[in-house]
Amino acid sequence: MPADPLLAAAEELYGLLPGEFTAARDARAKELKADDADLAARVRRLKRPSSAAWVLNLLVRRESGQVDEVLAVGRALREAQEGLDGAALRQLTAQRRQLTAAVTTRARRLARESGHRVTDAVAEQVEASLTAAMVDEACAAVVRSGLLVAAVSATAPGLTDPADPVDAAAVPAAAGFVPRAVEGPPAPDDGADGDGTRGGGPDLRVVPDPDAEAKARAAAQEALDEADEVLAEAEQAAGGTDEAVADLEARGLQLSSEMDELRRRLAELEEQAEETDEALEQAEESQGEAHEALAAARRDRDAAAAALDALS
């Protein structure tokens, strides 16, 4: 268990289903109030995770190995970016897209198995957060904590948005925290041993003529020299394009991250719009009840005034 009691409470609460969070949080705060009123107040202030944050927290607990693989590819990607390694950037960028898509699909399946359908908009936030965890070390730390209250994003390696990804975590101490994993059944081992057999045949040897062998050696040396010259020219030409390729790869990664951020922001606005519609509907109901009460109060007041006039 974490030494920090707030962190311990957060680890428990952010591993729950969305519908269980608020009641469990309030109950935990009430339980703590008698012994530590300050801690109880901090627990009560813990925010309910967004849909995307809950899916990511679930993924971290249920598929920690896949999350660690995402983060490992991210570290390699950042190293390739810093070293302007064009070949590595091309390979890792392709791997990043494949991996984030595959892990997002797995996260949607885990959520569905837990009784929650993940919309495309929420899935885009999940994938954008995984991308952010790859391109930015600070985002990686808060995603791996399993204590997110909101999705995270990064517009470019080392440049996060919002300014501090810790704001997306439930508690400031979340960065660097690793929750207890809930592992699924081990994958079956589909490897197979070879039979080790090896075919063979008679050892046939041809003893070449000494003159023919010398001529062949000379021709081979000439071909090798020519190939070395061609190789040197090709290496020089390839070296001149490496920096341009690396710059374009970096720009492509930045644009991809920015598109992910726009998708995340759109999904966030859609969620806020839904919440606003619900609040508006409740406010309109309250408004109608208030106007009915006002009309009744006016009728009562008019009746009282009429009774007073009748006595005058």
Q: In this structure, is residue 191 part of a structural domain?
A: no
Q: In this structure, is residue 25 part of a structural domain?
A: no
Residues pairing with 159 in the sheet: 156
Question: How many domains, in total, are found in the chain?
Answer: 1
Q: In this structure, is residue 42 part of a structural domain?
A: no
Q: In this structure, is residue 305 part of a structural domain?
A: no
Q: In this structure, is residue 126 part of a structural domain?
A: yes
Domain limits for position 91: 49-183+210-284
Instruction: Per residue of the chain (312 residues), give pLDDT as tens.
Output: 567 899 999 999 999 999 999 999 999 999 999 999 999 999 999 999 999 999 999 999 999 999 999 999 888 887 776 666 666 667 677 777 888 999 999 999 999 999 999 999 999 999 999 999 988 899 999 999 999 999 998 754 444 444 478 889 899 888 878 888 765 433 333 333 333 333 333 332 333 444 544 545 555 565 566 566 667 666 766 877 776 766 667 777 777 778 878 888 888 888 898 888 878 888 888 898 889 889 999 999 999 989 888 987
Dig out the tokens for 71 from the structure. Answer: 């983060």
Q: In this structure, is residue 31 part of a structural domain?
A: no
Q: In this structure, is residue 75 part of a structural domain?
A: yes
Q: Which of 118, 102, 140 is nearest to 54 (CA)?
A: 118
